[in-house]
Amino acid sequence: MRLEGTVCPMPTPTSGRSIDIETLAEYTDYLVNNGVHGLFPCGSIGEFSSLTRVQRRHVLEAVADRSGDVPVLAGCGNTNTADVANHIEDAANAGADTAVVVTPYYLSTTQQGLQRFFDAVADDSPLPIVLYNIPALTGEGLPLELVKQFADHPNVVGLKDTSGDLTFLYDVVEATPSSFTVFQGATELSVASLDAGADGMIAGPANVFPGAVARLYESYRNGNRERTNQLMNEVVNPVVSATSEPPTAAAIKHLVTRQGYDVGEPLPPLPRLSDNQREMLDRCFESVQTSLSV
């Protein structure tokens, strides 16, 4: 299985503290029917750290059940290896294709500590592993040398890089085999990252306008630079800009609800959006909708 293209990091539909499985199933159908190339439940936008193990398992089961031929990259992040192993086991049993494992957070560590963590996770994993680098949220960045080392591990197949460091992503592409998938997680860098050799992007705006963001990748691969740039400027950049000031997961949930899928309020500790934030997001949504309808 080749991982590439536009992968959607899905929000988790909730009703109070419960998972809204019915809405999640309908929303998964919407993403699949609009052409995304991968589904990423239980990631940062999915508020994974606010969900119990049972809730995460139910999310993965619901998404995998409706994914069809679209790969499911299951978020399996946690701060200790035993919990990560449990999440990976649940993901494998649910029918996911890959486990995405973020660097451990809260406790500071070293390159040796990160190596111990990912060795323990990858050595016995029933699923291939995608490393997840997002130092702004975890406080720990994956060093290039460690990524190079893990690219040779038989159970590690790729990296999601949300460092925002395009030079780092380029260096990873250059230092790893072509079989090692590199995804850009900072969507505003999508085209520059594809130019640098990335295989795709894990793109928050794909939650709201999945067809357009999927077409962006396809236009790029087909050599249609004009259409690629148009979709970046009319869809991706406005959504990234509008979701950069409020908490991203909360902002994406609001925009998805505007698209007709009521995915609920963000879970604690995230705040509810202010009226001004909602109005700003509404203006963005309406502007992009109008540009896509022209």
Instruction: Give the residue numbers marked as catalytic.
Output: 132, 160
Per DSSP bridges, beta strands 38-40 and 18-19 are unpaired
Peptide bond into 269 cis (omega under 30): yes
Specify the DSSP element, H or E, that contains 59. Answer: helix 53-66
CA distance 261 to 186: 24
Q: Of 202, 286, 276, which is closest to residue 239 (Cα–Cα)? A: 286
Amino acid at 260: G
CA distance 259 to 23: 13
CA distance 183 to 132: 9
Amino acid at 1: M
CB 89 within 8 A of CB 125: no
Amino acid at 130: V
